[in-house]
């Protein structure tokens, strides 16, 4: 049978009252018999006997209605364990920014905050922690911390309710109460997922960068061996191999250049560039510089610019890099569309204005599943094609980082078979149009 806390309290109260009144029921009849006998024997006058009986009965009743010493001790134990203490614990852990659980020494959940439900949705007061959090590492650490009476930290991974790395700080504590010391265990959890994700990204990045560098290096060293051995006396083969080696060396140089640019931009990610840059002349400059490549790929660059200047605050060379990357990509991957539209416009967003630069190609387009990942380092839709085009897989990552530094954004729209549009938005400095 399940008895609620309230009901359990009233039952205790009733038991205590019945104990006290059992004593009253004994005292009153004995006192009545005694004073009747004294009156009958003439030792006391009827009035004296009545007053004596009245005094003794009143004393017994007063004692019964007050709290006995036992009751007081029981009450103070109750206070140590019961509501007021729990309210304080609950108030303290509710103020913590991380999930927190307070356990009795035997592992019964005493209190927890709302955040704790994120890691153990089934947590219930009065039930063992192991019902709600079945992680062996945490339960083992709790057991060790409780047995040894020392604070412990343990890191663990959960798949349910969501993939998450957490660190649990488990601290046994003694609480002093009038009824003696009681030990509780406080568990505070810290989300380690972002730290682990960054570590994973770093490891992936180093692995990718090494792989990208190792491929041309292996090719170079293979050709050197061939030139030193079988092709030593073959001028035709030497000519061809040296050409390939030059391409591979150029690819390594581009990769190192892009890696250095990325790390330089990351270093100043939070410093916003402050130089006024006119986008009209900058875009024209990029389009002109890429004319030879467009000619080589048989592509026309159609430029649509507003009259006058359109100024943003930025770093001239970094912005050149952004638009060079986007137009080069359109020329590399969308060449069969034969045309690229490069347009600049201004758009009002509430009180502010933005410059909108679009690079639209009419090539094969990009499948929707790739779109969200295109700005990741080394992410390519087709690695072989990217390599054949001299790509490093870092171009759009660079674009994204440069734009973030400029408080700008990149959006990509594409439908397979109908080309792709890369749009850059940059805040316009008000009052700079001439």
Pairwise CA distance, residues 156 & 168, whole Å = 8
Pairwise CA distance, residues 115 & 101, whole Å = 10
| Nearer to ligand ADP among residue 135 and residue 325 (C-beta) | 325
Q: How far is the CB of 409 from ligand ADP (least distance, A)?
A: 16
| Nearer to ligand ADP among residue 188 and residue 322 (C-beta) | 322
Q: Residue 229 burial by CB count (10 A; 0-12/13-18/19+): exposed, middle or buried?
A: exposed
| Nearer to ligand ADP among residue 305 and residue 330 (C-beta) | 330
| Nearer to ligand ADP among residue 314 and residue 395 (C-beta) | 395
Q: How far is the CB of 350 from ligand ADP (least distance, A)?
A: 31
Name the residues that contact ligand ADP, by CB under 6 A.
325, 329-330, 333-334, 361, 363, 366, 374, 380-382, 386, 391-397, 420
| DSSP letters for 246-304 | HHHHHHHHHHHHHHHHHHHHHHTTTS---EEEEHHHHHHHHHHHTHHHHHHTT-EEEEE
Would you say 364 and 333 are in contact if contact means Cβ atoms under 8 Å apart?
yes
The three-state secondary structure class of 125 is coil
Residues 6+ positions from 44 with CB-CB distance below 8 Å = 35, 38, 52
Q: How far is the CB of 111 from ligand ADP (least distance, A)?
A: 51
Q: How far is the CB of 253 from ligand ADP (least distance, A)?
A: 14
Q: How far is the CB of 89 from ligand ADP (least distance, A)?
A: 53
| Nearer to ligand ADP among residue 113 and residue 421 (C-beta) | 421
Which is nearest to 27 in space by CA: 52, 6, 5, 1? 52
Q: Which two tokens stand for residue 209?
A: 């960068």
Pairwise CA distance, residues 84 & 86, whole Å = 5
| Nearer to ligand ADP among residue 101 and residue 410 (C-beta) | 410
| Nearer to ligand ADP among residue 146 and residue 248 (C-beta) | 248
Which is nearest to 261 in space by CA: 325, 313, 217? 325
Query: Alpha helix (H) ranges present in 163-273?
Result: 193-228, 235-267
Q: How far is the CB of 334 from ligand ADP (least distance, A)?
A: 5
Q: How far is the CB of 310 from ligand ADP (least distance, A)?
A: 24
């Amino acid at each position: 049978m399940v008895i609620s806390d309230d009901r359990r309290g009233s039952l205790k109260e009733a038991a205590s009252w019945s104990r006290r009144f059992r004593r009253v029921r004994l005292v009153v009849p004995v006192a009545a018999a005694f004073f009747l006998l004294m009156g009958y024997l003439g030792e006391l006058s009827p009035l004296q006997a009545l007053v004596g009986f009245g005094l003794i009965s009143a004393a017994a009743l007063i004692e019964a209605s007050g709290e006995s010493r036992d009751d007081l001790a029981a009450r103070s134990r109750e206070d140590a364990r019961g509501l007021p203490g729990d309210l304080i614990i609950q108030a303290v852990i509710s103020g913590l920014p991380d999930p927190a659980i307070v356990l009795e020494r035997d592992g019964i959940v005493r209190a927890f905050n709302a955040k704790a439900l994120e890691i153990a949705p089934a947590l219930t007061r009065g039930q063992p922690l192991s019902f709600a959090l079945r992680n062996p590492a945490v339960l083992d650490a709790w057991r060790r911390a409780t047995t040894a009476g020392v604070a412990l930290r343990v890191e663990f991974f959960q798949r349910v309710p969501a993939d998450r790395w957490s660190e649990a700080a488990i601290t046994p504590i003694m609480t002093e109460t009038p009824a003696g010391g009681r030990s509780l265990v406080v568990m505070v959890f810290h989300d380690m997922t972002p730290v682990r994700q960054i570590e994973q990204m770093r490891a992936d990045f180093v692995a990718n960068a090494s792989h990208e560098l190792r491929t041309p290096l292996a090719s170079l060293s293979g050709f050197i061996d061939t030139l030193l051995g079988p092709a030593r006396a073959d001028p035709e083969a030497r000519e061809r191999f040296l050409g390939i080696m030059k391409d591979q060396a150029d690819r390594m140089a581009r990769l190192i250049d892009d890696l250095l640019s990325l790390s330089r931009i990351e270093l100043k990610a939070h410093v916003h560039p402050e130089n006024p840059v006119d986008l009209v002349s900058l875009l024209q400059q990029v389009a002109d510089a890429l004319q030879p490549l467009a000619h080589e790929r048989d592509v026309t660059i159609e430029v649509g610019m507003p009259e006058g200047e359109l100024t943003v605050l930025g770093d001239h060379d970094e912005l050149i890099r952004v638009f060079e990357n986007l137009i080069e990509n359109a020329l590399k991957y969308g060449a069969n569309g034969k045309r690229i539209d490069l347009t600049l416009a201004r758009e009002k967003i509430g009180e502010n204005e933005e410059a909108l630069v679009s690079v639209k190609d009419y090539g094969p387009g990009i499948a929707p599943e790739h779109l969200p990942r295109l700005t990741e380092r080394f992410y390519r839709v087709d690695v072989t094609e990217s390599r054949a085009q001299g790509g490093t897989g870092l171009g759009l990552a660079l674009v994204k980082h440069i734009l973030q530094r400029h408080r700008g954004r990149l959006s990509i729209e594409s439908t397979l078979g109908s080309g792709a549009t890369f749009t850059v938005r940059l805040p316009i400095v008000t009052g700079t149009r001439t």
